[in-house]
Amino acid sequence: MSFASRRDASQSSSVRPRRADLLNRTFTNARLVISGDCRDLRLPSGASDSLKGRPAIQRSLILMRISRLLLLSVLAAAVAGVVIPSAGALTFPDEICPVAQGTVIKVCPAGETAKPYSMQIKGREGTGCVPYVRFKSVGALPPGLTLSSDGLISGTPTQPGEWTFWIDMQDIPSWEGGIFWCGDDKSTERQFSITINPGINIVQNALNPKVTFLNKPYPGFQLSASGASSAQTWSVKSGALPPGMTVGSNGVVSGTPTAAGDFTFVIQVSDGGRSDSETYTLTVVEELKITQAKPPAAEVGQPFAMEPKATGGRPALSWSIEGGGSLPAGLTLDPTTGAISGKPTLAGSYPLKLAVQDQLGLVQTVDITVVVATKLSAVKSALPVVKIGKLYKARLTARGGATPLKWRILGGLPGLLPTGIKLNAKTGEFSGVATGKTGLYRLRMQVTDKLGVKASLPIVLKVVA
């Protein structure tokens, strides 16, 4: 059995390993090349170099031990049916990216811009340590493409043109995690070329609008494609648009949807030899509307409650105040229900923009004004004298309160108006021609507003002849 050495690029010739390390590494990295007499043994260069300079007796003992160990491994492999492969020079196969005629450049399949690209580069079986090899590129691949260490060229090209570059393929030796019989890190490289052609690409990746309303005409949306010739044909490749809607051969999406729901479909454009497709989703719902939002009467210190209503859209709904307005002090808005409640503390007029939004992002607004009145009070003032037989008019006064107001007589002495004089409960006005007796009529009057708030005051009507 003869021995030959193969230089191990990962080991420095200046390092002298211990004998135990040498035996271990030699047994692990030694490679049997099965030749005619099955006796050719090659040792890693680190092991061969380490034997140099040793006494002849020591070298003989080490080689004898190595021979015994390798003989045992060969016999064990033979019994177990293990075949330790033989390898030729590392090279690329012809069938992957064939060489262009008249050149040495391997030409890979062409790609298109904006279309995913994938090409697996491999080493030729039976050469080097294939498939235990790694790859790297030297030079620029088409923009958008990359080469992985396992030889996969992939990505999405972004620019048309022709790119020529080198690919380096290298054995992965056993000491770097390769197969146990791979005892070198030799490499080879070849020049490759990939052409990227301009692709036809649909510009829009979503419809606008992507939500439309049941039984309402869709505003229409024009699809377009870049890189296409003027002779474009648009069609539905798969799925279905909402009932009542179509995509024309000119790429216009239009119609009046007659069913609600989410509709997903694929639209394709073709200019003859090339095509592109895009997936779209169109949602059809009933139109979102605010149906009830009239504020009730409000008064300082009195409970206030308002709950607007909305229909359509896609629940759940959320409510808010937009446009920079603010609620009266003391009132709050529930964003889930839209309810406005509380006790206002400051009178005034508050214009607001009330907004509701659904889960699809649809928004509807309505302008409202919350008017907060001051607290109701009755104003005490002297009334003019009533003259028998003469037309009489006088009015009671109230401040604040939520209109309408209502007046009534609570009592007094004698507790009745003079004969011929009447009270207008809505206006608080006394009117008529007195026909009764002269005298003083002491009464207690009460005013009540729309919210039930009450105020009272005493009055005196003096009747004279």
- Give me the pLDDT at residue 84, please: 45
State residue 273's pLDDT score: 78
The rounded percent of the chain whose pLDDT value lies above 70 is: 82
Q: Are residues 314 and 277 in the same domain?
A: no
> Residue 364: its pLDDT value, please?
97
Edge-to-edge strands of the sheet including 363-373? 298-299, 363-373, 348-357, 318-322
Q: Give me the domain span that covers residue 183.
A: 106-197
pLDDT of residue 227: 81
- 71 shares a domain with 22: yes
85, part of any domain: no
Q: Could you give the CA distance from residue 22 to residue 65 in angstroms, rounded to a whole number?
A: 11
Instruction: Please state, in angstroms and rounded to a whole number, the distance separating the CA atoms of residues 350 and 7.
Output: 91
The mean per-residue pLDDT over the stretch 384-410 comes to 96
127 and 144 housed in the same domain: yes
Q: Which residue has the higher pLDDT, 88 or 428?
A: 428
Query: Mean pLDDT of all residues in the chain?
Result: 86
Distance CA 56, CA 258 (A): 98
Residues 355 and 319 in one domain: yes
- The verdict on residue 424 lying in a domain is yes
**Dihedral Cα 114, 118, 121, 122, nearest 10 deg:** 180
Among 252, 284, 316, the domain boundary falls at: 284
Please say which residue of 284, 301, 328 terminates a domain: 284
Q: Which pLDDT belongs to residue 66?
A: 59
Is the model more confident about 191 or about 325? 191
Among 27-36, 357-366, 406-415, the minimum mean pLDDT is found in: 27-36
* 88 found inside a domain: no
Q: CATH number for the domain including 257?
A: 2.60.40.10
Question: Looking at the 3D structure of the chain, how many domains does it have?
Answer: 5
- Place 27 in a pLDDT band, splitting at 50, 70 and 90: very low
Q: Are residues 280 and 293 in the same domain?
A: no
Please check whether residues 143 and 193 belong to one and the same domain: yes
**237 part of a folded domain:** yes
pLDDT digits (tens, 9 = 90+) for 334-381: 999 999 999 999 999 999 999 999 999 999 999 999 999 999 999 999
Please give the share of the chain, as a percent, with pLDDT higher than 90: 74
406: in domain = yes
**pLDDT band at residue 60 using 50, 70 and 90 as cut-offs:** low
How many CB atoms neighbour CB 70 within 10 A?
A: 17
Same domain, 395 and 366: no
Last residue of a domain, one of 45, 80, 115: 80
Residue 253 CB burial class (10 angstroms; 0-12, 13-18, ≥19): buried
For the cut 70, the answer to whether the pLDDT of residue 447 exceeds it is: yes
Residues 362 and 303 in one domain: yes
Whole-number Å distance between alpha carbons of 342 and 334? 11
Quote the pTM value: 0.61
Query: Do 17 and 68 belong together in one domain?
Result: yes
* CA angle centred on 285, ends 282 and 291, rounded to 5°: 150
CA angle in degrees (0–180, nearest 5) for 241-244-246: 50
Structural domain includes residue 345: yes
Would residue 112 count as lying in a domain? yes
Q: What pLDDT score was predicted for residue 63? A: 60
pLDDT at 117 > cutoff 90: yes
Q: Does residue 404 have a cis peptide bond before it, meaning omega lies within 30 degrees of 0?
A: yes
> Does 274 share its domain with 294?
no
Q: How confident is the model at residue 114 (pLDDT cuts 50, 70, 90)?
A: confident
Residues 110 and 193 in one domain: yes
Q: What is the distance between the alpha carbons of residues 162 and 69, in angstroms, rounded to a whole number?
A: 55
* Residue 271 domain-assigned (yes or no): yes
User: Does residue 244 sit in the same domain as residue 299?
Assistant: no
Residue 160 has pLDDT above 70, yes or no: yes
pLDDT tens, 244-274? Answer: 999 999 999 999 999 999 999 999 999 887 8
**Residue 14: per-residue pLDDT:** 33
